[in-house]
């Protein structure tokens, strides 16, 4: 059943969206079939004041999707080889987004296994670059509206995780030169003890 989150859900504060996306279902209608899973790890990047965010220095050709309406996707290539998937949050021009870092595969397991050929199941989607490989998400999805299934890539309610099942910590992979307090802000959320999170 298709019931995407609407614009108002993503218009909330990025930290709220990051928390509430834990348990949400990420789905992609591919040519081979429907693939997706439950989100178990996210990170918030919050506005032009966040010196760890791509939006920090204003508009550039790459980060332009961050100025789209909430609910749009922002995908970009990192280290020359991996696509990462973000969702734009907060009211227009807030320049905030949530990075989807890990999911628990639930739909189209055969297709996912094919996309992750040779890898053991625990390593199918336990990282931001791995899950895009598993689901076939890439530059084609940059700037698409994730509030409608017409885009073939969308988010919808799935499971509910109570607060006592959630943990927070500093974001991963930030360069050492990212200044405080942003380097240490606990803007990463994950499901405690879940085997598909990238790091405990």
Residues forming contacts to DNA in the complex (CB under 7 A) are: 43, 45, 52-55, 57, 60-63, 76-82, 84, 86, 97, 99, 116, 119, 123, 127-131, 133, 171-178, 198
Q: List strand residue ranges (DSSP E) for the chain, in order.
A: 25-29, 34-46, 73-78, 82-89, 96-107, 153-156, 166-169, 188-191
- The residue (of 22 and 97) whose beta carbon lies closer to DNA is 97
- What is the C-alpha separation between 89 and 64, in angstroms, rounded? 14
CB 96 within 8 A of CB 44: yes
- The residue (of 122 and 162) whose beta carbon lies closer to DNA is 122
CB of 76 to DNA, least distance (A): 7
Contact partners, residue 64, CB within 8 Å, separation at least 6: none
- The residue (of 2 and 93) whose beta carbon lies closer to DNA is 93
Sign for the CA dihedral angle at 113, 168, 98, 179 comes to: negative
- What is the C-alpha separation between 132 and 125, in angstroms, rounded? 8
CB of 85 to DNA, least distance (A): 8
- The residue (of 54 and 143) whose beta carbon lies closer to DNA is 54
CB of 45 to DNA, least distance (A): 4
């Amino acid at each position: 059943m298709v019931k995407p989150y609407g614009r108002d859900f993503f218009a909330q504060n990025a930290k709220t969206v990051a928390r509430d996306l834990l348990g949400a279902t990420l789905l992609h209608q591919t040519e081979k079939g429907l693939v997706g899973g439950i989100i178990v790890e996210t990170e918030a990047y919050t506005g032009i004041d966040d010196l760890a965010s791509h939006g920090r220095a204003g508009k550039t050709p790459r980060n332009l999707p961050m100025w789209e309406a909430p609910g749009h996707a922002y995908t970009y290539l990192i280290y020359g080889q991996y696509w990462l998937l973000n969702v734009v949050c907060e009211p227009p021009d807030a320049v905030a987004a949530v990075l989807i870092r890990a999911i628990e595969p639930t739909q189209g397991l055969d297709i996912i296994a094919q996309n992750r050929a040779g890898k053991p199941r625990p390593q199918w989607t336990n990282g931001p670059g791995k899950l895009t490989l598993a689901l076939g998400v890439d530059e084609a999805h940059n700037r698409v509206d994730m509030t409608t299934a017409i885009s073939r890539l969308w988010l919808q309610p799935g499971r509910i995780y109570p607060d006592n099942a959630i943990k927070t910590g500093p974001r991963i992979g930030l360069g050492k030169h990212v200044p405080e307090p942003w380097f240490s802000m606990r803007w990463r959320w994950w499901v405690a003890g879940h085997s598909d999170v990238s790091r405990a």
